[in-house]
Structure 1
Amino acid sequence: MSQPMAWNMDKLTCPYICPNAPPSNFDKPVYLKGGHRKSHDNPFASPYVPGSVQPPEKKQYPPDAPPRYLPQQTDSTSGDVLGMGPIGPWAAGHLDWTPQAGMTGVRPVVDKYSITRYSTGEWRRNNLRTLTPRATDKAKALDTSIKGDLAKAIKGMDDMQDGCNKKLKTRVKTLAHWKKQVQNTLKAISDEIETLDANRQKLKSASRILMLPEAISRECLELRTFRYEPDLVRDDAEQELIKEVSIVGEIRRVFQETLAKVEVQMANNRAAKAAIEIDWSDKISTLKIDNQNLNLTPDSNLILHHPGVARWPENATSLEYWEHYCKESIRNCEEVRQKSENLRGDLMTIIVKGSQDMKIQGDRTNLALAETVSATEQLCAKLEETLKDNLKTIADVENLIDYLKESLRNIDERDKLSNTRLLNRNYGRPNVENCRDEAQYGLMGEAKFIKETADSLKGKLREAEAVRAELMKYRGELEKDIACKRKSLNIDQDRIARVRAHLPTPEEFANA
């Protein structure tokens, strides 16, 4: 490897020509960073001197540098710009710049020997661009993409088919469930039609016996109107009595409507049976088709192309409407059957149900009356206790008023004493003796304190008298309320209890 030249700042010397020259400071070559230009300092800028031409220097590259024909780290963006001197490839040329230069800056000039338009860095970048594969990568990417899409499509079709099979299984289970429900409903309505032979004559006698509990309930309501005004409330007992009357009327109305609608109910039962039979037949056919579809596979021998089937039929309904129709069909048939059971039920069943309702309502009314009586008794006892406390409080307040009056009389005597002392000192002491001594100040303070105390006690006396007036008024209210409560107790506990003792029992209804 040739050694680089070293230049002395005082004079130009060469180590090969002048062995005594100082050693070179250029141990390693210096590379330009990207974006920097080479210095225009040219050793050949001076006139030519014989022996100034140096041997060739071998370029050094980093160990990890790419091949020489590819872009290097030492390449500058402005190209290999050389200085101009007395000797060189373009000694007789001139600088030139064109838009084609781009980021490379100044370009070499044209002389009579050759033309150079691009730098070495641009040549290497062009090599990199030429060697970079294009269509090959696209082909590989296309092959990978197509195979991946095909595998994804096949997997998606398998997943879709598995999902459809699962949905078909779920649909078959749902259809089987609803078919069973419809079949049970059909059997129930058929049994109901077969057993619709009710005895309707005894219902009339059951309607007549309802007049007794109705009369008892109305009489109890009328007796409660004799209560005094503070107790004329719509309490639970009143509500239950009104409800009792309403229940009697409703039971009578149900009996009468039942007698009038037996023949109509028979026609309704037959119509409901026909509708449920159609629904049952449709579900059997659908279940058979879905079972057949569930057993079909891509390897089956019964599958064919059927163009135009991937569309919604004109008569197709939504799943929500189908579920609603199934529920409504069963519910309508059940409603008809329930009405038929209510109509064709034997006399004992209807009478027992009505008597049970009356018994339950009677118990609720009696319980409400008992609670009202208990609450009224407790209130009456509390009122009497409150009246006693009120009388005691009135006595205490009156004693307090007497005590305040006695205290005011004592304070009045003290006020007279203070005033007399002040009068004697103000008008009894002659000349300069009538001074403002400590005794005078004390008497003045005593008079003021006595006056304020008297005023305060008079205010307390007025408050006590006002409280006594309120207590007296409260006493009258308590006595009046106690009389009212005792009147209500007489009605609810005595008179109504004797009337309600004649209510018919369920056994009496059954034996009517």
Structure 2
Amino acid sequence: MSSEVLVPRPHYDDRDVAQGILTQDPSVEPDVPQPSSGSAPAGYRSAKYTPAEWFSNYHSILQQGVTDHSEAERVQRRSKALSQDTETDTQHTQAQGTRLLGDRLQDIHFCRSELQQHISQLQVDIEALSGQKLRLERALDATEIPYAIATDNLTCRTRRPAPDLVQDTVEEELIKEVDLVKNIQALLRRTTAQVVSQIKINKDTKQMLEMDWSDKYEAYNLDDICGRYRNASIDTKHHPSSANMQDQVCNPASWAKFTQDNLTKAMQEEHATYSLRMLVERVLEDTTRDLRVQCASVDQAFTHRCEELIEAKTQLETKHAQVLEQIGAQERNIVALQQAIHDKEAPLRVAQSRLYVRSQRPNMELCRDPPQLSLEAEETQIKASVEALEQQLSQARGSLSFLEESRMAIEKDVACKANSLFIERDKCMTKRKRYPAVSTLSGY
């Protein structure tokens, strides 16, 4: 054993150090000599504790044990209470999160149902507009037939002979029909362009709603998965950084506004589509009615014109028969006048022969006696009759010439009327029977 003087060690509690509590060093004065007990050597005395120190030491240990026991019970009580509080808070927070997820699922489901409804409506509108677009195109194609008929009628009527080449009611109605068809074609083209534009807008709007619906469908599935997670679920993992909010995350107000804006846009386009569909129906109905009314007007004008031509032709043919009859009578009259003139030649020869023979009487017998005077008067009277007959014959021949000219003019005019009637009735009116029906003009 070493004879060195051993200095008593101070007592430290490691638990206090671990808990951050520094115990106060015991007041030890190593340099001060301690009183000795008994006759033991000083070297042995320095290595021992005194009974007071021994009692103080284990009493300190007992006190520390009591303190630690009380602290342990306090910590246990706090831990139990904290565990219960945290469990309650956790269950409450989890239940609230589950409830909020359920509310969110209902909101998403409602918005998705609204989007689906408008998507279906837009699809119906697109199909309806596509059908009306086809009707407009068919109606536009159908107007080519009335236009071709009207222009062909105008072209055919230009081949009428000069006396009948007049700007009558038929021509005016045909020109109106051509102008009407051109205006209707322009209107149908503009309406078709509007329908095509609206179809494109509806498709874009439908695509926008479908993208929103798809996002909500995916979000609904994800939130549904989240709502099904339980503490006993085996597919849950730790994701420490997933709670960090991203810069591009929207708030509920902007989320609701985005969907509402899409729904408002869809409703606006649905209203615009409805108005356009009503417009298309009115356009097709009005254009069909206008074309049929103008067609009826043209047909009526043609009918009236044909009646006029038939009446004129009938009158001309009646007059032609009368002229022919008059020509025959005049020819017979000329023959009778010629015969009458010829019949005057014999009496004139007799009278002149008598005058010639009596002019050979001798001397005083050459007298202007009553027979002489009668013979002279007879000759004069016969010559006057012949002259009157010849003048009448000349007038009869002139009248016959006029009758012939009138006959030729009537025959020419009858042929003209027949040709015009052929053009109006057999050419134009026959071709107008190919005029499209109401259903064809309406695009069906």
Q: TM-score, normalization: structure 1?
A: 0.41
Highest CA radius of gyration, 1 or 2? 2
Q: TM-score, normalization: structure 2?
A: 0.47
Greater RCO (CA < 8 Å, at least 6 residues apart): 2
Bigger share in helix: 2
